[in-house]
Amino acid sequence: MEAWNFARFMGFVWLSILLLSESCLASIRSIGKIYPGFQGSQMNWVDKEGLFLSSNNSVFVFGFTTIPQDVELFLLVVVHLSSLRVVWSANIGKPVANSDMFVFDKKGKVFLQKGGSVVWSIDTGGKAASAMELQDSGNLVLLGDDNQTIWQSFSHPTDTLLWNQEFVEGMRLVSNPNPNNLSYFLEIKSGDAILFAGFKTPQPYWSMAKENRKTINKDGGVVSLASLDANSWKFYDSKKVLLWQFIISDPLDSNATWILVLGSDGIISFYNLQNGNSNPSQTKIPSDSCSTPQHCDPYYECYSDNRCQCPSGLSSRPNCSTGIVSPCGGSKGSTELISAGDGLYYFALGFVSPFSKSDLNSCKTSCLANCSCLALFFQNSTGNCFQFDRIGNFQNSDKGSSYVSYIKVLSDGGSGTNTRGSGSNQKHFPYVVIIAISTVLVILGLLYVGYRYTRKKKKLPESPQETSEEDNFLETLSETSEKSHFPSYAFKMLEEGKLRNILDWKIEIDETDSRVSTAIKVALWCLQEDMHLRPSMTKVVQMLEGLCAVPPPPISSPLSGSRFFSGFFKSTSGEGTSSGPSDCNSDAHLSAVRLSGPR
């Protein structure tokens, strides 16, 4: 029995050790390689910041990292460890939760799951991978049974090119989308490295062939490969003969490790990883921000000082808008072409072929007949007609432009210089003049109405009834104004000998009773604004009981509405003080409408 209990105890111990080892292994960061059967989520390596594979010398790491917009969503990425810069991403645009699994299954397939469905996988062409390796160069590699590379991240770049990473024809470097959801991409095409705006019809805005800062090592070659080497971006032909160089930094720094990043602003920047996550090099492509498609919002004019302004042709329209939402989607209303303004240039004109060769009227007629044409540029000297189905920002040319430009707008939206149909002459409509004339007419009309009313009023005799009503109204208004401040009204009635008017008419009194007159006079003594004139309570009782005579109250009391309010404001500001003796042992200035204190 004891042997059985001991066996059960040892079995429990071994099971605990096994489970503990499984848990520990799940949180250990692998070095160099991982193998089939490996799987896990961000939660398994939360104490390792979600990063589960390190290169041999810990230069780069591979694993999960959060996206900037939401810390609860994750991308599968390669990160340069010392700078914490992401240099490659697997599931761009398809982030996962912290419980979703990365799987390298026993069949040699690599994929990322989200809620049971696959959101990213590696296409190995049917070959089974025997290992995944993260190299110190930053290259993530799948190895076959013969230890040969069957897939590598260097052949599938995202927005970054690393040092010594070969960028060849057929690859595409793609930026993250900008706030207008526009992405940019770099390709080697037709023997040149070209940057494009990712519109439905891509529009080029820079090429290395037209870059005047490059160094030409050999003329006449066709570029098919580019890579970063030392302090320059080098371009080779298919035989790896050096054709061009673009110097990133001078002088040469042998310790620098340069990378190239295509930003969401459409600009290529260069970073030295040895400096950590620092600012990029001052060398940028293109050098002029206005040469990018959307440094300003679409249709705005970009100036050399990076200022954005609505062009004159659209300045009278709300928000510098054309009013066209869906060019070929059945937008309501007819369209017209308006002149965009003088001195405008467009970034794509130096890279695309003309739509046709014609005269200006034919170019405009063609654009109006084509629902996808949103703007045109016409060069008078060559007859070249350029039409575009999407528009970025315009460029302001200080030296003027050899192109005339027109923008398609809805006919019923806004105003401006316009041309309809097949290119009739431009009509400058005097809207300001119309507004000015309308204003003058309205003013003249009001003056005429006022003149007629005045003349009519003079001709009508003033009726006695109307005069009487006005007098009664003024008398009532005056009386109401006087009664609004009762102490002033009471003293006035005393002065006029009309004490009965002070009392409420509802009170039944004997007008011959002298006590009524006595009480009113005592009350008026107690309402004196000067507290020193107020009788003591003993004196008040004596006067009311008839033990002493009641002298006439001062009828020339200084109490008045203006005096009252003046005294009130002075007392609240602390300036109204009295210099005479006081029964209340205070020199504060008391208003007549406030209760007197004990005496």
Give the range among 76-80, 211-215, 240-244, 498-502 with minimum mean pLDDT: 498-502
pLDDT at 428 over 80: no
pLDDT of 484: 57
pLDDT for res 10: 57
**What distance in Å separates the CA atoms of residue 171 and residue 191, rounded to the nearest whole number?**
13
At 318, the pLDDT band (50, 70, 90 cuts) reads confident
573 has pLDDT over 60: no
Closest CA to 394 of 380, 405, 402: 405
Q: Could you report how far apart the first and last alpha carbons of the chain are, in Å?
A: 108
Q: What tens digit of pLDDT does each residue of 135-168 get?
A: 999 999 999 998 999 999 999 999 999 999 999 9
Residue range 375-379: average pLDDT? Answer: 94
419-440: average pLDDT? 54
8 A C-beta contact, residue 270 and residue 286: no
Is residue 201's pLDDT more than 70? yes
Q: Domain residue spans in the chain?
A: 22-156, 161-287, 315-327+334-419, 483-599
Helix (H, G, I), strand (E, B) or coil at 113: strand
Average pLDDT, the chain: 81
pLDDT digits 0-9 by tens, 100-113: 999 999 999 999 99
Mean pLDDT score, 530-557:
79
Q: Place 343 in a pLDDT band, splitting at 50, 70 and 90.
A: confident
Determine the average pLDDT of the residues in 126-137.
95
- Are residues 414 and 402 in contact, defined by beta-carbon separation less than 8 angstroms? no
**166, 137 contact by CB (below 8 A):** no
* Of 357, 373, 359, 361, nearest in space to 426 by CA: 361
Cβ atoms of 136 and 55 closer than 8 Å: yes
Tell the residue number behind the tokens 């009295």, with chain if given. Answer: 578
Four-point Cα dihedral 249, 252, 257, 260, nearest 10: 30
Return the CATH number of the domain spanning residue range 161-287.
Answer: 2.90.10.10
- pLDDT reported for residue 505: 65
CATH class of the domain comprising 22-156: mainly beta
Is 50 exceeded by the pLDDT of residue 418? no
Which residue would you say has higher pLDDT here, 490 or 404? 404
CB-hemisphere CA count at 13 Å for 517?
11
Task: Pick the most confident of 31-35, 473-477, 528-532.
Answer: 31-35
The mean pLDDT value for 370-374 works out to: 92
Q: What is the pLDDT of residue 456?
A: 74
Residue 170 structure tokens: 């057929």
What is the 3 state secondary structure string of 465-479?
HHHHHHHHHHHHHHH
Lowest-pLDDT range, 29-33, 201-205, 436-440, 527-531?
Answer: 527-531
Under DSSP, the state recorded for 47 is G
Pick the CATH number of 315-327+334-419 from 3.40.630, 3.50.4, 3.40.50, 2.40.50: 3.50.4
pLDDT of residue 397: 80
In the predicted structure, residue 403 carries a pLDDT above the cut 80: yes
**Bridge partners for 118 per DSSP:** 113
Q: Do domains 22-156 and 315-327+334-419 have the same CATH topology?
A: no
State the pLDDT at residue 11.
54
Percent of the chain with pLDDT over 70: 77
| Residue 580 pLDDT greater than 70, yes or no | no
In angstroms, the CA 398 to CA 205 distance is 20
pLDDT at 450 over 50: yes
3-state secondary structure of 491: helix
Distance CA 495, CA 560 (A): 14
pLDDT score at 382: 93
* Alpha helices (runs of H) in 134-214, residue ranges in sequence order: none
Q: How far apart are CA 176 and CA 184, in angstroms?
A: 8
* Residue that has been written with the tokens 């040699």 in this structure: 108
Looking at the chain, the whole-number percentage of residues with pLDDT higher than 90 is 50
With cut-offs at 50, 70 and 90, classify the pLDDT of residue 503: confident
Nearest CA among 49, 5, 52 for reference residue 30: 52
Confidence of residue 454 (pLDDT cuts 50, 70, 90): confident
Specify the higher pLDDT residue, 189 or 585. Answer: 189
What's the confidence (pLDDT) of residue 194? 98
Residue 363's nearest CA partner among 405, 398, 395, 333 is 405
Q: Which residue has the higher pLDDT, 338 or 521?
A: 338
Q: What is the mean pLDDT of residues 304-314?
A: 90
> What is the pLDDT, as a whole number, of residue 444?
85
Phi, psi at residue 130, to the nearest 5°?
A: -100, -15
Q: Which of 210, 72, 79 is nearest to 138 (CA)?
A: 79
